[in-house]
Structure 1
Amino acid sequence: MAAVAGSLVMSGSVPALAADSFADVDAPVVTSTGLVDGQLVGRSQRLRPVWTDDTGVTRVEVILNGAVLRIYASGQWDQGVHLPVPARLHDTDADVTIRAFDALGNHGEATSHVRVDAEGPQATLSPPFESIVGGVVALVATEASDDLAKIVLWDHATGREVAKATSAPWTMTWDTAGRTGVAHVHFELTDRVGNVSFAYGFYGLDNTGPTITGLRFPRQADQTVVNGRISGRSRLAAMIDSISPLDRVEWWVDGTLRSTYPVGGSGSGPEPFFDWDTGKANGTAVLEVRAYDVLGHRASMTRTIVIDNIGPAITSITPANRALVRGSEIRTTVQGTDPSGIREAYLLNASSVLKAPYTEFASAGKDGLRTLTWTLTDRLGNDSTAKRTVIVDNTKPKLTITKAPANGAKVKKTVKVTVSATDRNGINRIELLINGKVVAKDTKAAYTFKVNPKKYGKKIKVQVRGYDKVGNVTKTATRTWRR
């Protein structure tokens, strides 16, 4: 790119004007736009214009063909001003104006008549992207633009420049020794005025042949072959890294060729697969995968596979069997183990839980027996189901004071309070409250309390409260006694 002419000169800050000072009528003088007439400019230029003013410049406008493109306030032009040039002006003449304003709005300007080059340089790169290369590679740019000034190759893996040429015949050398795999790169082409073009792509670096990195279930993208375990009829896919195209993949079970996937033929896909019907029995098998590329390189991987057709072992469910529960929802948890790992737990008529502890809330429904059904599924798709029955009880116990002084009675000596309580699932306890405080509890029928009125003042408020075994509670009406 041509050198940018001129340098930025800033005047001092604007002095305060006294009330009787004369008005500033002198406009700023722009002595340089930072360009010269006839200069070639690119899509993006950083200019360092020069101006003077006796009170100081407060605003600068960058104008292209009469249109204001940028406005800078004082202090924003310390690193110069930016001139963006639209691509539509390529190969045309243009007027670049720098207009400077002082605090009172006086302004001056200067204009440079320039030629626009808004297109980046082009070239044909050889070898083309997606070629397989190795060792020291000779890269050549042909059919290059006349104004090409530099071409650089960048390696995305390291973020570094790996090859460069600054003159014809635009030949670069790239040392790929010791590397195998896919190299993502880009070429950066720069012309004389600083326009830049990019070419992105990749090369295959192959000195070793294919590599089998693992097995997975292609129909379930979140699953890998778990610890060498499969189940039922399983489709296994081989994950293979190969820069050279693959020719075929062979699948061997216990020394017998069971399937050949013709990667290079019709029906080829991104991952060679094997549909393996393991039956229903459990056991082990030796699986070997052999991969061949079109250059004749071979890679193999052998795995001892455990055939697992058994679902998870469910070890516990809460609440306990025939436990009493109350409320509109039942909090339930299931636990289990499986050598292949647990993928999910599902509570019937609720939802799936993907992370332990496997906990869900079930609708309680009506009072009575409620069955909770949990299903655990391992990562191979085997499942196990277990049920748990609980007793829903949202009914309050029935409570009656069968013997005690009546409401409004006058008591002078110790009296008895006898209570009758019933509940379909049993009574936990009966409490006697006097003046709002619990003063006695009884857990066995018949529920009897003795009250000495001398302990509670002249006005005694008596109430009985009963709890069933699940926590439902009921109260009697309050009786007031006088002493």
Structure 2
Amino acid sequence: MRYRLPAATAAVIAAATLGVSVTATPVFAAATSTTPSQLIVGLRSASTAAATVRKLDADPDVKVLSSDASAELSAVTVAVPAADRADAVATLKADPNVAYVETNAVASADDVTPDDAFYARQWGLATSKTPAAWDVTTGDAVVVAVVDTGVNEVSEIAGRVLPGYDFVNDDSDPSDDAGHGTAVATVAAAAGNNGAAMVGVCWQCRILPVKVLGADGTGTYDNIAKGITYAVDNGADVINLSLGGAESSQLLDSAVQYAYAHNVVVVASAGNDSKTTRTYPAASIPAIAVAGSTQGDGRYSWSNYNATADQWVDLAAPGSNIAQSASGGNFTMFEGTSSAAPLVAGAAGLVLSAKPDATADQVRDALENSGDSIGTWVAKGRLNVGRAVQQITASPALSISEIATSPVSPARGKVTVTPTVASTAGGIKTVKMTVTQPNGKTIATTATKAPFSMVYNSTGITGAVAISITATDTAGNSTTAGTVLNVDNTAPSAALTLSSFVTGPTAVTLANPSDDIAEMDVYVKNVLVGTVTSAPWTYDWDTSGLAGTIPVKVSVTDLAGNSSTTTKNVGVDNAGPKLAWGGPTVATKSALRGTVEVKATATDTAGVASVEVLDAAGNVLGADTTTPYVIPVDGSSFSGDTTLTLRATDKLGQITTVDKTVLFDNTAPVVGDIAASAARGNLVLTPDVTDDTGLRSVKMALTLPSGKTVTISSPTTAPYAAKWGSAGITGTVSAAITATDWAGNVTTATSTFVVDNTAPSAAWTLPSAYANGIVPIALTTASDDTATMDVLVKGKSIAQLTSAPWSIDWDTTGLSGAFAVAVKTTDAAGNTTTVNKTINVDYAGPKVTVFTVKFPAAAATQIRTSVTDPAGVESLELLDAAGQSLATSTTSPYTLTVDTSAMSKGAATWTLKATDKLGNVSTTTKVVTVS
């Protein structure tokens, strides 16, 4: 399965590869250029490719430009900007799905030098004894995959080129735009004995073209690796890799191992650097690394070769061969290890044609064990095709049927290697074991007695180890067989994914396992509680009933038996936080309003994640995540008893709640007018105030007519009546009533009322101190609003008036003497003014105490009187018997003079009539003598 971004976003992949040379002297170009933005990511499971790319792309410091995965190799190549490379590598290495990360290095194609030649000039075929093989077979339908620049179906291989694939352009047209791959294909499989210009090694072999190098002869490691797996999956029996690079690669090694595991022979050119330095993929253990030899079996100066301590180049083959050009019209001399390798690949095709059931190991043994010795610069000599075919077809006098190891792969420590050896020509003389370690070091051991068991001490070594067994019998026959043993002496290391605090079912998981894990054991308090034997490496630990700090130990063991242990102290918390309400508190006479600060105390061993306040419907009103937990709550919409819920959540998701009912009052008091019990004196002022939760205070600020302000506090319970002494105050009083409830809501309203502490002043009319008959009593003026007028005589009310006209008539008939008369006027406020007067009721006439008549000598007679009256004498009148007035006096002293000259002499009856100022009359009659 491949994962690829759309073409519009795919990055251009550039890498150094083996290039094509047109110079007279072929040169194997060194792999010097790399593209840091191209990373090959080895995966622990092919199925995690997409998830790994997504996780990398989620890193804010990394931008994934493209990705291309090969499920067969459990790897994916990603392209990132050069500036993001370091972050990308760090992120990938931290991903538990990633086994390794390496740069997508480059390889280059061996170069060829065009020249003209025909069969007579094909000295390489003669030197490698190929015609001797043709005596047995010229090949059949063996499939040789040319993993290169592509292959054009030129005349020498016409009809034998299979459909292939182009990994450079990602399409199914593997055409050769460089010429290198076509030259390789014709050296390996050009038709023979057909009257044409050249002859290949395997005349009937079929070619599977796999394009992994571009027109410039370069290609990336990931494309090469994909080309190898494609060839294996599409029927290749032999794979030719005339390419290489200086950088080692787990990805390329995995691809070659993939081919080996599928019984496919891999042939690779050793390179043209004239060095002993390894090139890849030729240096991969299952590959046959091929150097270039001259016609005289010397080493071409440009060919790579073995160092004494590092025998990595396996075979030499003639390094200058005729090849057909990609255009098909020309034939050229093709030089370099790129030309030597297809001779070996073609020879492998002939060997398989001669023995179709041969294994890849048997083919390799036939090619390597039949070589002609040409010096120590190659391990197995120069290719001898005829002898290789002869060896594969001959009945073996000596055979190695099995190489057993104990322990089996993967192994560690001391490994016992026991080959099964048989000989029909004689006894076994020696069995030699050569072990090639991943570091290139070789270890040789020889056994001379059955069962020929030998011990290889692998301590300190990890990786693929090549074991080669060479048996020699007493007749001198020898044979070699090999196997690859995976050695693992590295203890597995795996990060433990386990939180410091846990609750309930908890996953104990391995993260980033560094090795193949065979078993995971979980211990709780040093007691084994579970064993896991397959991925995902997760154990579900039930922490129910546990609390406190618990030691958890995880032991991991790999397939080789190496183990490591990780211990972690874990806090187990299966209870919610301890939670308490800290405020606000509401006393008996208090309430809340508006926004209040809810305070809480919350503690938890795992840590408190949040404390929230919820209403009765479960709506979150506010939250706090840090101590002290103070949460503003808008309570402006609440009224009356309100239940608030505190909810504390710990960092494990456990919850504790506490309910609290508090009183909210967001309605201000209602204030109306003041009712006054009176309008004067000590007043009872009762403001009209109501509130739904009760009042904390009611205050009245009274502004008096003088401008002075007086503040009065009322009780906090209905009817809120307060006393105020208004003495001395008269006029309109303005009151500002301020009511404050227990929640602090305040209402202020104004009201006015009238105070009257001034007594009314009134003038009224009464008769003089003496009177009789009907006596009028009336108010004449009033200085205030008069409400009532009371008239009292001797303290008893004789009349009460409530409206104007303010007057009465007092009937004194039958009365006599002095009477205390009081007139009391009362205004609307109840102030009173009383006027008192004593009135003498007098119905008696004046008292005449002296009535004498003096007769002087003259005609006038003088009357002497003494008259008194309490009401005052109004007049005295002297009447004759007929009632005629004789004389009158109105002033005191009352002297009457009567002219008697005209009167008859003698006795006369005179009457003295006294009248007082009330009209009372008294008379006194006297008989006098007129002379």
Shorter-chain TM-score bucket reads: 0.3 to 0.5
Q: Select the structure with the greater relative contact order (CA < 8 A; seq sep ≥ 6).
A: 1
More strand by percentage: 1
TM-score of the two chains, using structure 2 as the length reference: 0.27
